[in-house]
């Protein structure tokens, strides 16, 4: 089945107009491309933050969709949860309960104590398969990669049943190749952020990245391959701004306006926003067993986040690596409200940055927050201090 483009609005437009279309799509709580995909008879596999091997869903001809919450009131979902929980759980379920995002499969993995309940909650409310994908918290074990390979095969069997078609190794290899291209293009977005941040506003970089979570990857590849050379060709001149890393966006996303506000004050030269889309840092091997290659990449070619434990990736060392690689002056250490792993890791990050003498600013956010006056003031004070010290 040949599908029409689900996001044609950016085509034949100037760079600024195309980026505006991208921003509007990402800012919208409607996940419009998903509805357009379904209108054409396509099936959709939704997965919750942080990482999911989307290649497996893609190989079945389905659309993998990253559920990352949305800036809307969880009026239906609220009664399914108690207090003391982060917002993204509620707004993600709201997407499904409201019918904005219709799925044929939902998968989450136990990234935190709250989210690990999500598949069960989803399963009590929808009749399609709602599952947990266990990703290794002990990637240091010699058994982790063979086991994860088997687990990916289990997901493949589930996806086959949903898609109503087999998913062969060649299908998987083709998908891995598409995603390798996507990973390369996303690395290029971040290369621009690090090397020439004045060419790409923080909110535009975020929008270009986030679209990967809701567009067919071929379409996203086309978008990036078209726009990135035009971004590189911009004649914008650098300004005297601090270079800052944002840490704390691995799961719940800060409001788009917060990213926009940050981008106006500083150069956001690196971040962990939607890190799951960039979890695998290099190309996944195309020869041999594709499920093994994906499992290997998850454990051996991956980034870091507070929700994965790996003895080889102590978070305090990883954040300092990120700061150095981005030649950053400072770090914004954010955490979503009620995000236990994020809040716990903040303590570690603060210690590590203090010991390394890196300036940092600690804050909390919620995806639905609309008022930034106080935060703006605090941030302006922080960045002024950076400039004058």
- Among 11, 17, 120, 236, which residue interacts with another protein (rule: CB under 8 A)? 120
CA–CA distance, 389 with 386 (Å, rounded to integer): 5
Residues 62-101 that bind another protein (CB under 8 A): 79-85, 89
Helices (H) and strands (E) in the chain, counts: 14, 8
Are 38 and 6 a contacting pair, CB within 8 Å?
no
**Smallest separation, CB 303 to another protein (Å):** 17
DSSP 288-319: S-HHHHHHHHHHHSB---TT---TT--HHHHH
- Among 25, 63, 291, 338, which residue interacts with another protein (rule: CB under 8 A)? 338
**Smallest separation, CB 155 to another protein (Å):** 9
By CB under 8 A, residue 127 contacts another protein: no
Q: Which is nearer to another protein, 350 or 356 (CB)?
A: 350
By CB under 8 A, residue 116 contacts another protein: yes
By CB under 8 A, residue 346 contacts another protein: yes
Q: Which is nearer to another protein, 195 or 355 (CB)?
A: 355
Q: Which is nearer to another protein, 77 or 259 (CB)?
A: 77
Q: Which is nearer to another protein, 84 or 388 (CB)?
A: 84
CA–CA distance, 92 with 119 (Å, rounded to integer): 12
Tokens of 290: 């594709």
Those residues with Cβ within 8 angstroms of residue 324's Cβ, 6 or more apart along the chain or in another chain: none
**Smallest separation, CB 351 to another protein (Å):** 8
Q: Which is nearer to another protein, 11 or 150 (CB)?
A: 150
Q: In what order do the strands lie in the sheet with 105-108?
A: 63-67, 44-48, 105-108, 130-132
Indicate the burial class of 371 (C-beta count within 10 angstroms; 0-12, 13-18, 19 or more).
exposed
- Among 14, 142, 370, 374, which residue interacts with another protein (rule: CB under 8 A)? 142
By CB under 8 A, residue 113 contacts another protein: yes
CA–CA distance, 137 with 310 (Å, rounded to integer): 7
By CB under 8 A, residue 110 contacts another protein: yes
Q: Which is nearer to another protein, 196 or 348 (CB)?
A: 348
- Among 92, 131, 253, 302, which residue interacts with another protein (rule: CB under 8 A)? 131
Indicate the burial class of 270 (C-beta count within 10 angstroms; 0-12, 13-18, 19 or more).
buried
Q: Which listed range, 52-60, 216-224, 281-289, 344-352, lies at the site for another protein (CB under 8 A)?
A: 344-352
Indicate the burial class of 248 (C-beta count within 10 angstroms; 0-12, 13-18, 19 or more).
buried
Q: Tell me the β-bridge partners of 244.
A: 268, 330
- Let me know how long the chain is: 389
Residues 285-324 that bind another protein (CB under 8 A): 306-307, 309, 311, 314-316
CA–CA distance, 136 with 174 (Å, rounded to integer): 25
- Among 130, 176, 274, 277, which residue interacts with another protein (rule: CB under 8 A)? 130
Q: Which is nearer to another protein, 137 or 236 (CB)?
A: 137
Give the alpha-carbon dihedral of 322, 323, 328, 332, to 10 degrees.
100
By CB under 8 A, residue 121 contacts another protein: yes
- Among 33, 64, 136, 216, which residue interacts with another protein (rule: CB under 8 A)? 136
- Pairing relation of β-strands 130-132 and 359-365? unpaired
Tokens of 145: 């990669």
Count of residues in contact with another protein, rule CB under 8 A = 59
- Among 340, 356, 363, 369, which residue interacts with another protein (rule: CB under 8 A)? 340
Are 270 and 328 a contacting pair, CB within 8 Å?
yes
Peptide bond into 50 cis (omega under 30): yes
CA–CA distance, 176 with 331 (Å, rounded to integer): 33
- Among 15, 132, 177, 369, which residue interacts with another protein (rule: CB under 8 A)? 132
Q: Which listed range, 11-19, 195-203, 295-303, 347-355, lies at the site for another protein (CB under 8 A)?
A: 347-355
Q: Which residues bind another protein (CB under 8 A)?
A: 79-85, 89, 110-114, 116-121, 123-125, 129-134, 136-138, 141-144, 146-147, 150-151, 154, 306-307, 309, 311, 314-316, 335, 337-338, 340-341, 343-348, 350
């Amino acid at each position: 089945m040949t599908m029409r483009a689900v996001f044609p609005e950016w085509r034949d437009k100037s760079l600024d107009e195309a980026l505006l279309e991208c921003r509007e799509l990402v800012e919208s709580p409607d996940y419009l491309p998903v509805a357009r995909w379904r209108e054409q008879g396509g099936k959709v596999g939704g997965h919750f933050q942080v990482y999911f091997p989307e290649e497996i869903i893609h190989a079945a001809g389905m659309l993998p969709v990253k559920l990352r919450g949305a800036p809307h009131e969880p009026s239906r979902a609220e009664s399914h949860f108690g207090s003391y929980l982060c917002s993204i759980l509620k707004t993600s379920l709201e997407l499904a309960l409201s019918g904005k995002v219709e799925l044929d499969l939902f998968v989450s993995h136990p990234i935190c104590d709250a989210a690990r309940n999500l598949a069960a909650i989803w399963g009590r409310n929808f009749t399609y398969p709602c599952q947990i994908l266990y990703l290794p918290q002990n990637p240091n074990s010699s058994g982790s990669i063979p086991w994860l390979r088997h687990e990916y095969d289990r997901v493949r069997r589930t996806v086959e049943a949903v898609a109503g078609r087999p998913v062969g190794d060649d299908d998987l290899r083709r998908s891995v190749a598409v995603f390798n291209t996507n990973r390369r293009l996303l690395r290029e977005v971040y290369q621009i952020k690090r090397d020439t941040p004045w060419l790409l506003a923080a909110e535009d970089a975020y929008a270009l990245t986030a679209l990967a979570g809701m567009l067919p990857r071929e379409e996203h590849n086309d978008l990036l391959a078209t726009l990135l050379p035009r971004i590189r060709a911009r004649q914008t001149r650098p300004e005297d701004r601090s270079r800052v890393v944002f840490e704390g966006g691995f799961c719940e996303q800060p409001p788009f306006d917060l990213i926009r506000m940050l981008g106006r004050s500083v150069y956001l030269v690196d971040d962990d926003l939607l890190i799951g889309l960039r979890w695998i840092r290099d190309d996944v091997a195309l020869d041999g067993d594709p499920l093994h290659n994906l499992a290997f990449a998850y454990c051996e070619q991956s980034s870091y986040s507070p929700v994965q434990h790996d003895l080889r990736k102590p978070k305090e060392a990883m954040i300092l690596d990120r700061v150095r690689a981005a030649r950053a002056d400072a770090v914004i250490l954010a955490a979503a409200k009620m995000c236990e792993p994020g809040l716990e890791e903040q303590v570690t990050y603060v210690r590590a940055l203090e010991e390394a003498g890196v300036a940092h600013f600690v804050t909390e956010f919620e995806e639905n927050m609309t008022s930034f006056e106080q935060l703006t003031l605090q941030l302006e004070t922080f960045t002024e201090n950076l400039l004058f010290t």
